[in-house]
Structure 1
Amino acid sequence: MVHRFFKIAGVAAGAFAVTAFAVNTDLLAPEERPRPLVIAHRGLGQTFSREGLQNDTCTATRIFQPEHPYLENTIEGFKAAFAAGADIVEFDVHPTTDGQFAVFHDWTIDCRTEGTGVTRKQSLADLKKLDIGYGYTADGGKTFPFRGKGAGLIPSLDEVLAAFPDRRFLINIKSNDEREGHLLAARLNTLPPEQRANIMVYGGGKAIDTFKASSPETKVLGTDGAIRCFIRHALLGWSGYVPQDCRQTLFMVPANFAPFIWGYPNRLAARLEDHGSLLVTLGHNNGEKSTTGVDDEQTLRRIPARFNGAIWTNRVDRIGPLVHTPVD
């Protein structure tokens, strides 16, 4: 009886292994694109140490020694990112008190500028008076290499859209404010269809829900179900099924976890694309609260040279040229 049980269990395990392999092997994946997409996180800006990083850490006070003159979320930083090979530039927006949108990452202006207060409680005109290079230091405050060089560099959403009418963007809504969702939808709905088709909006909560209802023609990627997505995909992804929480979202995978994800890279990328999602490979995660981007050649080489997803990077100046001219 026991022998029969183990025999049946062995057959079942073998059948599962064969099925899982057949469903997930890249040998049967769709034809690959020539290269992955490159997403430049906040355009091209200064990078910083992530050691001990918390949600409220001022990252401007811990930058590495600058290797280029660009600051994140600026027109010039976006130009440099596209010139280096970005396919998509990600940026953050905040509504202002005068009905505009400022392109700026932080919830407050205290870290990067000489001002104080919540970003969305400022007018665009007042934000443009600030020096966004004011707070950057690589030596604990002995020197401030960008101070005086960032005056007036906070762009409005309108300025970005006008400067890059044919470029692709990924816009992050950072709040839970329904009004923000309505306002952003109203602005993007005025764009020509061909320009709006180049824009994706992502985030979670009421703001993104309201945006999605108000701008159904814009591609929206929700992030509220990210944890549920990974758990359910781990349990069911072997079968080729894409759980509901993995649809219409950014499926973001750290590079060191990626080989263990069902169907990674191309079978997974194709399935996600069929359900309106984008597979994005990040840098390594070693148990920290946050994950790095693919910011150096060593990390890039751990990613398949050809796959139908995207690479998330904070150093598009390094990664973009390597992706466009891959080394075998």
Structure 2
Amino acid sequence: MRKRWWVLGGLMVLAGGVFVASALNAGGSVRANEFARRGKVWNIAHQGGEGLWPSNTMLAFSNAVSLGADMLETDIHATKDGVLVTIHDASVNRTTNGRGLVKDMTLAQLKALDAGYQWTSDGGKTFPFRGKGVTVATLDELFTAFPNMPMTVEIKQDDPPIAAKLCETLKQHRMTDKVIVASFKDSALKEFRAACPDVLTSMTESEVRPIVFLSLVNLAGLARPAGESLQVPVSAGGIPVVTKRLVREAIRKNVSVQVWTINDEVEMRRLVGLGVNGIMTDRPDVLKRVLQSSTPPR
């Protein structure tokens, strides 16, 4: 998930009526979903476990599943020839030995790159996955390999739009009931919801803001969430986002609260105690250990 978040500083001094009206008019009733079940905290491997393996690769996804992660999180862009690929950035510069934008490259050009080239766990002293045949993965490959694995798929690209292509791919692989689709881009999520209305979605920043505000002033019960999952950071602008009140009201509306991106064991335990439904982490191994020794509230 995106590391930057909207700034909430000064929110309490804004006119509450604007946000209340926005929340009350945002979407219809929210459907029940298994991700909002009380008493279970989902171990969500962020980009397949970026702290352990090259992110968004089949190597990472396979290892995360073998480790026992409950859910995979991935990001998607489309190649020049229209293939959906699992990669976080719009360019290949940060994670491969190549340079350029994903949307300007064909799948064949992407597959020729070393997707393990830049991964290091020791500040650049060693690069253990270089030359190991790790490549950029396609969404088709991921769905084919793990047809029963719950996933969060984040739409990163909106120019050109790829939401309709994602909907088509989900239907082809019969994954519509196994995913949460997310995006920080309002246009992308609006397009996806129109194309695939039966698929669960997370909420964009503009949809989350009024819910957080209402929670801060003890009016969260008034909110009408536009999606089925709140995928949020612990705090923003120095103001807490994930609170017991927010979690309680979200779950009451069958909305899951999934927090990103948490790699610290102490913070993981605190969030489990708050009753969150899921934790996105680069270290699913650490979270697994925490969950084995913690009992979520019911």
Q: 2-side partners of 1:211 and 1:259: how far apart? A: 26
Question: What is the aligned length?
Answer: 257
Counterpart residue type for residue 125 of structure 1: A
Q: 1-side partners of 2:67 and 2:239: how far apart? A: 27
Query: Which aligned pairs between 1:7-156 and structure 2 lie closer than 5 A?
Result: 33-46=38-51, 68=52, 70-137=53-120, 141=124, 143-149=126-132, 151-156=133-138
Q: 1-side partners of 2:148 and 2:87: how far apart? A: 21
Counterpart residue type for residue 322 of structure 1: V
Q: 2-side partners of 1:168 and 1:295: how far apart? A: 21
Q: 1-side partners of 2:272 and 2:93: how far apart? A: 40
Percent sequence identity is 28
Residue deviations 1:200-259 (CA, integer Å, cap 9, x gap): 111122222111101112112231313333223323xx2451424565442524179769
Residue equivalent to 1:223 = 204
Q: 2-side partners of 1:306 and 1:229: how far apart? A: 18
Shift of residue 92 of structure 1?
Answer: 0.5
Residue deviations 1:277-328 (CA, integer Å, cap 9, x gap): 321234xxxxxxxxxx321322222234483511121100111232134389
Q: 1-side partners of 2:141 and 2:39: how far apart? A: 32
CA contact (8 A) 2:243 2:274 kept: no
Select the structure with the greater relative contact order (CA < 8 A; seq sep ≥ 6): 2
Counterpart residue type for residue 89 of structure 2: D
CA contact (8 A) 2:47 2:56 kept: yes
Q: 1-side partners of 2:289 and 2:209: how far apart? A: 33
Q: 1-side partners of 2:85 and 2:160: how far apart? A: 17
* Residue 303 of structure 1, aligned match among 264, 271, 280: 271
Residue equivalent to 1:200 = 180
Q: Does 1:158 align with 2:163?
A: no
Q: 2-side partners of 1:154 and 1:139: how far apart? A: 23
Shift of residue 143 of structure 1?
Answer: 4.2
Whose Rg is larger?
1
Residue equivalent to 2:294 = 326
CA contact (8 A) 1:85 1:324 kept: no
Q: 2-side partners of 1:217 and 1:278: how far apart? A: 17
Counterpart residue type for residue 223 of structure 1: T
TM-score by length of 1: 0.69
Residue equivalent to 1:281 = 259
Q: 2-side partners of 1:319 and 1:147: how far apart? A: 27
Distance change in 2, residues 1:312/1:257 (3 Å):
farther
* Structure 1 unmatched runs, 5+: 1-31, 47-67, 283-292
Residue deviations 1:11-60 (CA, integer Å, cap 9, x gap): xxxxxxxxxxxxxxxxxxxxx844312211111223xxxxxxxxxxxxxx
Q: Secondary structure at the match of 1:89?
A: strand
Counterpart residue type for residue 223 of structure 2: P
TM-score by length of 2: 0.75
Q: Secondary structure at the match of 1:196?
A: coil
CA contact (8 A) 1:228 1:245 kept: no
